[in-house]
């Protein structure tokens, strides 16, 4: 995390201290705001575009949102047909469907920055930036082990069958390994708050004693918390999530005993990626390689650093 922050700060320093040496167009292709996380991605992408274009009028940042993978592939064709793209920053809907379209953009001489979901062919990308899903699960699990005194019955809500979900589950299982915490039930809730509510209701009906809940995404956690509120159950000591949703960060800031910590997988990573890409043109910075965001423990003491009150997420 410190390494990433150093790189980001250096990039911002270039952006604020050096004049742009040439005109450049950066296209940003991202999913539409179909749920909380992607709404946050759209928000931070638009903010980055506004800030960069205000500071450097010669750098044109074009943000395009798409509702699905096919639409995103078509949007890339339209973007490259309408103008010369010097760089593309893309958070792909899916690795498989977007690999060939991005390869075509690369062949036209564009610098390629990939965010979060990698392409099937990583040689296409010049820069890759993503969160650490294993750390999201492991950091949460390690806190839970300590808070529960090393033992207890835990229920887990999964997202959808993806690599991201699998990595979070692996991290959580690694984090409780060697303790007496036991996962007594685990179900998919599709990273959806309504499904999270229904799954938690099912858990409550099936299990008379639950010490803690982990929803591996904050949208699901919102549903979990509503189910717990309606149930009146007092045996659950912790209900934790992950991603850094504004509402959950605010609970942490307030010292909520049920949700006292959070782990980030911030949609603001898109902003960092756009800034780093822009630094290539504003100061001829040799920006290349792979960067992975850490998932540090967010507590009441540091939660303000992760709170974006104007963001939809």
Here the CATH number for the domain that contains residue 188 is 3.40.50.2300
Please say if the pLDDT value at position 70 is more than 50.
yes
What separation in angstroms does the CA of 243 have from each of 1, 19, 153, 223, 293? Answer: 16, 35, 23, 15, 12
Q: Is the pTM of this model over 0.85?
A: no
Residues contacting residue 80 through CB under 8 Å, at least 6 positions apart: 104, 105, 108, 110
Same domain, 173 and 103: no
pLDDT-derived band at 276 (thresholds 50, 70, 90) equals very high
Is 310 a member of any domain? no
Same domain, 101 and 9: yes
3-state secondary structure the chain: CHHHHHHHHHHHHHHHHCCCCCCEEEEEEEECCCCHHHHHHHHHHHHHHHHHHHHCCCEEEEEEEECCHHHHHHHHHHHHHHCCCCEEEECCCCHHHHHHHHHHHHHCCCEEEEECCCCCCHHHCCEEEECCHHHHHHHHHHHHHHHCCCEEEEEEEECCCCHHHHHHHHHHHHHHCCCEEEEEEEEECCCCHHHHHHHHHHHHHHCCCCCEEEECCHHHHHHHHHHHHHHCCCCCCEEECCECCHHHHHHHHCCCCCCCCECECCCCHHHHHHHHHHHHHHCCCCCCEEEECCCCCECCCCHHHHCCCCCCC
Q: What is the pLDDT of residue 310?
A: 84
pLDDT tens profile 123-163:
999 999 998 999 999 999 999 999 999 999 999 999 987 77
Is 156 a member of any domain? yes
Q: What is the pLDDT of residue 255?
A: 97
Q: How far apart are CA 24 and CA 21, in angstroms?
A: 9
Q: Quote the distance between the C-alpha of residue 8 and its chain's center.
A: 17
Same domain, 124 and 167: no
Q: What is the mean pLDDT of residues 305-312?
A: 87
Two tokens, residue 143 = 């806190």
Expressed as residue numbers, the domain containing 200 is 133-253
For the chain, the average pLDDT equals 90
Q: What is the mean pLDDT of residues 198-221?
A: 97
Is 305 a member of any domain? no
Q: What is the mean pLDDT of residues 237-266?
A: 96
Q: Domain boundary at 253, 276, 308, which? A: 253
Q: What is the pLDDT of residue 22?
A: 63
Q: What is the mean pLDDT of residues 67-73?
A: 94
Is 52 a member of any domain? yes
Q: What is the pLDDT of residue 44?
A: 94
Is 196 a member of any domain? yes
Please say if the pLDDT value at position 287 is more than 90.
no
Same domain, 286 and 177: no
Q: What is the pLDDT of residue 162?
A: 74
Is 166 a member of any domain? yes
Same domain, 86 and 32: yes
Q: What is the pLDDT of residue 132?
A: 93
Q: What is the pLDDT of residue 1?
A: 40
Same domain, 230 and 146: yes
Please say if the pLDDT value at position 178 is more than 70.
yes
Same domain, 126 and 29: yes
Same domain, 242 and 152: yes
The residue length of the chain stands at 313
- Maximum average pLDDT range among 258-262, 264-268, 287-291, 307-311: 258-262
Please say if the pLDDT value at position 286 is more than 90.
no
Q: What is the mean pLDDT of residues 207-212?
A: 98
Poorest-pLDDT segment among 13-22, 132-141, 172-181: 13-22
pLDDT-derived band at 18 (thresholds 50, 70, 90) equals very low
Two tokens, residue 55 = 């500071």
Same domain, 200 and 125: no
Q: Domain boundary at 225, 253, 281, which? A: 253
Same domain, 25 and 143: no
Is 259 a member of any domain? no
Domain count of the chain? Answer: 2
Same domain, 141 and 228: yes
Same domain, 126 and 245: no
Q: What is the mean pLDDT of residues 22-36?
A: 89
């Amino acid at each position: 995390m410190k390494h990433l922050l150093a790189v980001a700060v250096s990039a911002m320093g270039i952006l604020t201290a050096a004049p742009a040496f040439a005109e450049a167009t950066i296209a940003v292709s991202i999913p539409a705001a179909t749920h909380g996380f992607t709404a946050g991605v759209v928000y931070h992408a638009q903010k980055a575009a506004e800030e960069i274009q205000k500071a450097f009028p010669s750098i044109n940042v074009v943000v395009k949102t798409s509702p699905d993978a096919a639409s995103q592939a078509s949007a890339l064709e339209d973007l490259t047909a309408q103008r010369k793209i010097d760089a593309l920053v893309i958070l792909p809907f899916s690795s498989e469907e977007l690999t060939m379209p991005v390869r075509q953009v690369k062949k036209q001489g564009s610098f390629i920055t990939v965010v979060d979901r990698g392409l099937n062919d990583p040689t296409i990308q010049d820069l890759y930036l993503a969160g650490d899903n294993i750390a999201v699960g492991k950091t949460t699990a390690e806190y839970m082990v300590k808070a529960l005194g090393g033992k207890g019955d835990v229920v887990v809500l999964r997202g959808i069958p993806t690599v991201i979900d699998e990595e979070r589950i692996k991290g959580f299982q690694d984090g409780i390994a060697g303790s007496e915490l036991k996962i007594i039930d685990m179900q998919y809730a599709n990273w959806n708050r309504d499904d999270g509510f229904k799954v938690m209701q099912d858990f409550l009906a099936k299990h008379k004693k639950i010490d803690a809940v982990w929803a591996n995404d904050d949208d699901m956690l919102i549903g979990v918390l509503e189910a717990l509120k309606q149930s009146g159950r007092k045996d659950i000591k912790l209900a934790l999530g992950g991603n850094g949703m504004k509402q959950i960060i605010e609970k942490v800031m307030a010292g909520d005993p049920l949700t006292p910590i959070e782990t980030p997988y911030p949609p603001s990573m898109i902003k960092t990626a756009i800034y780093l890409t822009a630094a290539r043109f504003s100061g001829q910075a040799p920006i290349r390689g792979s960067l992975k965001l850490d998932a540090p423990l967010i507590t009441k003491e540091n939660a303000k650093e992760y709170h974006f009150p104007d963001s939809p997420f």
